[in-house]
Each structure stands twice: as structure tokens, then as C-alpha cells.
Amino acid sequence: MAQHDPRDPPPPYYTVALGPQPPLQSYEEAVYGVGGAPGLPSQPYYIPQQTQPVPLPVTTQQNPPPPQRERTMFRNKAHCCGGSGGIIILLAVVAIVIWLGIHYSSGLATSSSYGGLPSSYQPNSAKWDTCSNTTVLCDGKQDCLLGSDEADCVRFGINGSLQIRTSNNSFLPVCTQGWDQSLADKTCAQLGFRKSYQSIAVQGQQSPALTVTNNPSSFIQGQMAVNSSCPGQQTVSLECTDCGKPQVGTRIIGGTPAQLGQWPWQVSLHYLGSHTCGGSLVAPDFIVTAAHCFPRSSSGYSDPNNWQVYGGAVSQNNLPQPYYVSMIIINQNYNSDTNDQDIALLKLTSPVTFSRNFQPVCLPAFNQMFTPGTQCWTSGFGTTAEGVEQISVIMMQVAVNIISSQVCNTNAVYGGRITSSMLCAGDLNGGKDSCQGDSGGPLVCRGSDQRWYLAGVTSWGIGCGKKNKPGVYSNVVSLLPWIYSNMQEEKP
């Protein structure tokens, strides 16, 4: 978090991975997440920043030299494919790729725009799946090889109101009649949460709804039938986790050290032993973070074995036992030139045991609004001033206000670079912002139910705490379908 005036809180957490990185170009104005010629760049892109990482206190392992993006990529290829034997292998690989492209291109599903990447970047079914010509979405029957036809079929409204999409292609509430704990657990497990936390009845509206049937199905949507209304207008409100409830009071003055348990969903992502990015625990097995933390030009970042996840800590000098990563899932639509859809999921090798200091944040409702002027909070271990090479050993926190996209897109601010998948927050006067090392961390806002919701993921910005250059975050509400469909696809 950057800091200008000592009375002002440090900035939120931006798009800069702080582990071993290529050196920062010597611009007078550091640009995080955007780039171009010296001075104000014309097109945003991710610029990794070289800082002095904070290694684990117990490790003596030396970090590798900073990866040179293009050169490292081609050096690896040359090493594995050198000589005539390498050429033969390369030609064989090309032939296989061409065959696969011809074989599968006609069968790619087009019902969704969410996706991942091959290898450690796991493919999302919507972009890589094969489906039959008679596929029906959300009918409880898996027609596509990877199940993309049964993804994006469950969502949550305000106050946890459960809505399920069936084969008629509309989302409807679920009547409480016939609903029980086993169905609640099934629904949450389907979405990657393992089981449910709480299911209650709420007052619904006079409208079509879904009732439970005895139809056998692997998916909850296959056990639903459309009805004109619910008896007594009672519908289901479902919570898959007891989320967004810090055990420590949130009496915050921007730019101050965080207390243990104050932001219990905040994690520190370590690459080869050093803090590199932040993230947010959203389910026992899943962390939400930023896609730019895993640059495609360096294969080491896409290897789950090179990452450790630390939660329930506010000091890099007092870290608990880490959790390990089994899978890195990058949004296939992530654009490294513009930072659009800058979001990723990490699947852990084992579920988190929730505690006072390590708990999930709530994912927002599909229709939840974080209106301009709303005071939200961001936290992380990023640098406390622009240009500082050392990240903060202590987790910092700062209050920031939501800024409308219309204002953020004016020529005086970001000149049209803000998309529907982005969210601006900070202070146009400067001073309150995130900085290097905060990338992937949370922007959280308190809902009317007093729970904290993940509104944004720290993505990019120009400088740290500069006037008219607020922090830019990935808009979680707009990316919810991608999050839920990938958690469902890779559920434990």
C-alpha cells in the first residue's frame, strides 16, 4: 500500500507480482498493470515489478534470477527440442495439435464465454468441451464431455436466495416444500463448497418457481420442476459457508496495520518461497486471485508445485503451515494487454480448516450492486509507497470508495480503459490506493446483512496513490459465472 501524506492511508493492492520478476523499466512514473512508451502509456498491460521479496524466515533457498518474459520462454523450447530428435518431436506435436483442432473445432460449445488454459491452466468446459447437436442446457443430464451444458445453472440472489436455471432457460426461485438438508448439501457440493452451512425459508414473490421432484439426477437442476408458485410463497435461502464474518472488530483508519482475524480471508501467495501476490479464500478448496500473477511467458509461474498459500496471518515473519496448490485455473478471456477479466482460481491440495483467523469471504449475489461512494476496504502485504522495493512485512489495510466507471473512464482518469469487468476504487485526490505486491488481493464491501463481500480483485493502476489514478479491480459480480462454473468443474 502506497502512502503519500502520513495522514492519508496507503493505497490498495495492485497488479504487480513481487516475487522474482523482470526489472521495472526506469520510468519516472511507475505504471502498474499498464504500459507503453515512457510517460502515460496508451494501452494498459502488465509490467512485472522487481522488488526485494520477503522470504520465509526458515528458508535458505536462493530465488532464481528474474525471468525474462520472451527470452525465457524460447530458451526453454530450445532446450527441450534441440537437435534432430527435438525437431522430430516438435513436428509430431504440431501434427497432433492440428489434428485435435480439426477434430474438435466443430464440436466446441458456444453457450458460455468462460474458460481456462491447457496444461496447468485447466481447460474450462465451455471453451474446450465437445457437445452433441441435441444438447439441452441445465436439464440435469450431462450431454457434453466436460459438463459445460450443466454449468452456470445455479446462482444466488440477495440474502442467499437460491435460483436454479432449468431447461426452459430462465432462473427461478426454489420452493421450500420438499427441500431438505440433503438437497442443500448436494447443491453446495455441486458448486465446489463440499457441503452447505445453512438453509432457511424466506418470503418469496408471486411468480413461477421450482419445486422438488423425485427425478434421479446427478445435478440439482435435474430434480426441479416448474410450478406456478410456492405454497405460502416460501422459498429457499442457502448459504454454503459461514462467510464474511471477521472475529475482530473492523475499526479501521486507512493505511494502518491489520489485526489478526480482521480480514481472515486474506492469503499470501508465495512463489518459490517469497510473497508474490494476495488472494481471497472463498471456499474450503478455492482461492480467488488475479490472472496476471501467473505470467504465461514464464513456465515456472504456471507450475502449482512452485506456490504455497498462507492464511490466518498478518506478518510475513510469523507464518503458519502453508497450504499447497493442486491446480491453477486462469480465465481464458484474460487479456494481458488491457488487464480485462484479470481473475484466476487456485484449487488447494487439501481443504482449509476454518478457524477464528482463517475464514472465507462471501461471494456477492449475481445482482448485488456496489454503488459509487460506497466505502469498502482493501488489504495486503504490498509496498507502502511507490518505488519502494521492499514489500510490507505486516498486512496493511485501507478504506477506499467505489468510483463510477463513467468517472473512471473520463480523459482525466483512465480515458476509456475501464471495462464492465473492472471496478474503480480509491480517492481521486490521491493517497488511498494499493501498490506492488497487493495484486490478487481483496476489495471487500459490507452488505446490509453486515457480512463482507468480495467486490473486487486487485488488478492494476498507474502509480500508487496518484491523483486521478485510483485502483482498478476485477469486478467480481461480472465474473461470478466464471468463478462458479470453474469451481463446479473442479469440485473436490
Residues labelled as active-site residues: 292, 342, 439
Query: Which residues have a Cβ under 8 Å from the Cβ of 98 and sit 6 or more positions away?
Result: none
What CA–CA distance (Å, rounded) separates 262 from 356? 10
Strands 323-330 and 344-348: what pairing? antiparallel
CA 446 → CA 243, 366, 378, 380, distances in Å?
Answer: 12, 16, 12, 18
- What is residue 153's DSSP assignment? -
Alpha-carbon gap, residue 339 to 478, rounded angstroms: 15
Residue 425: φ, ψ to 5°: -155, 145
Q: How far apart are CA 324 and CA 121, in angstroms?
A: 16
**In the numeric block, which cell numbers belong to residue 156?**
444466488
Amino acid 431 reads G
Beta bridge partners of 20: none
How do strand 154-156 and strand 471-475 relate by DSSP bridges? unpaired
Provide the 8-state DSSP code for 432: -
Residues 6+ apart with CB under 8 A from 389: 50, 51, 52, 383
Give alpha helix (H) positions in 159-267.
181-190
Other C-beta atoms closer than 10 Å to the C-beta of 450 total: 8
